[in-house]
Amino acid sequence: MSEPRDPQVEQLVAEIQRRVLLRLQGAGGQTAPLAAAPLREQPCQDGPSENCSACGLCAVRRPEAVRTLAAEGASRIGSAEGTGRAADDIAAMIDHTLLKADATSADVQRLCDEARKHRFASVCVNTSFVPQARRLLTGSGVMVCAVVGFPLGAMAPSAKAFEAREAVRAGAEEIDMVINQGALKSRDYALVHEDIRKVVEASRPARVKVILETGALTQEEKVIGITLSKVAGAHFVKTSTGFGPGGATVEDVALMRRLVGSDMGVKASGGVRTCEDATKMRAAGASRIGASASVAIVAQCQNKASEPPPGPGPATSRPWLNKAKGSAGKPAAPATASGKTGGY
């Protein structure tokens, strides 16, 4: 049983909720964006190159177009000041995931082999498989992520904290915890905050992602859950477990990014199964993708990048869009799914 509610905490959360909702609601009840994100974080809406606004940020706003140019022979592209670090690859955003209850050691072996091969950001497993994953991935640069309080999130804060501490001791570098959805819906915000804070403290130095299960929440509950995750010191907010109702949506990812700004990561998980899905989530603001279909996603992105471009259109006065040629007039050199899947 939780402690009696603190009126001051209730008042603080109510004020946070009021201010956030005021900023989200425009005239006539229409949703309005918060402070505009930096241009590099906004998806490009210019369409064909003839309509290009020449912002110089294609490396981060239109990475698929850049990959197509590289496949066509371009060895270098121009980039404007403020571009920042561009993602090397969709794969570098992916947490390769296996969370089903009947997963075997052989499945985890295959998961880790695929993560090494494709250079995924991490593998995400249940805590019992953390030692094996750590052993298989040592020296690979691929992190081990463990889920805590998964998939319901209805455990006591001390139980989640213990599970997180043991996972980190076994080698986990990131922890994905499930929020206490019942407490959130009961407006017991002190318990929600305590739950997240205890896991964050127990997991140090590992980073913590808070899974909100957005498909089960109202817009108000999403706003409060995201805000409490940030206040409690989490490093990421995450859409879904993959075992609950619904999955990641572009709208939820965009809401998360608007509320956390650049201070936290945003992880899209649940139903992300194609290259197109992953690209849309990244454009909406996701910095990490949770998927069990990771190998298929990467294969689709690679195939898409290697497809020949459409035939030449009308001549333009933009010679810099032409692909680079070698001295001999030739283009310069261009810069299997697992058995059981996770719930993602």
Q: What is the DSSP letter of 139?
A: T
- In the set 107, 267, 277, 280, the catalytic residue is 267
CA 228 distance to own-chain centroid:
19
330 noted as active-site residue: no
| The dihedral sign for the CA sequence 132, 135, 140, 142 | positive
267 noted as active-site residue: yes
Collect all residues with Cβ–Cβ distance below 8 Å to 227 and sequence separation of at least 6.
13, 16, 17, 20, 259
Q: CA-CA distances (angstroms) from residue 281 to 4, 25, 298, 316? A: 40, 23, 15, 32
- In the set 176, 188, 252, 277, the catalytic residue is 176
Q: What is the DSSP letter of 142?
A: -
Q: What angle, 0 to 180 degrees and rounded to 10, lies between the N-to-C axes of helices 189-203 and 219-231?
A: 40
- Token representation of residue 144: 């081990």
Give the separation between CA 22 and CA 193, rounded to whole angstroms.
Answer: 23
Residue type, 75: S
User: In degrees rounded to 5, what are phi and psi of residue 313?
Assistant: -95, -160
Q: Categorise residue 149: left if φ over 0, alpha if ψ from -120 to 50, beta otherwise.
A: left
Give the separation between CA 312 and CA 318, rounded to whole angstroms.
Answer: 13
Task: Please confirm whether the linkage preceding 205 is cis (ω < 30° from 0).
Answer: yes
| The dihedral sign for the CA sequence 244, 248, 252, 257 | positive
238 noted as active-site residue: yes
Residue type, 204: R
Catalytic residues: 176, 238, 267
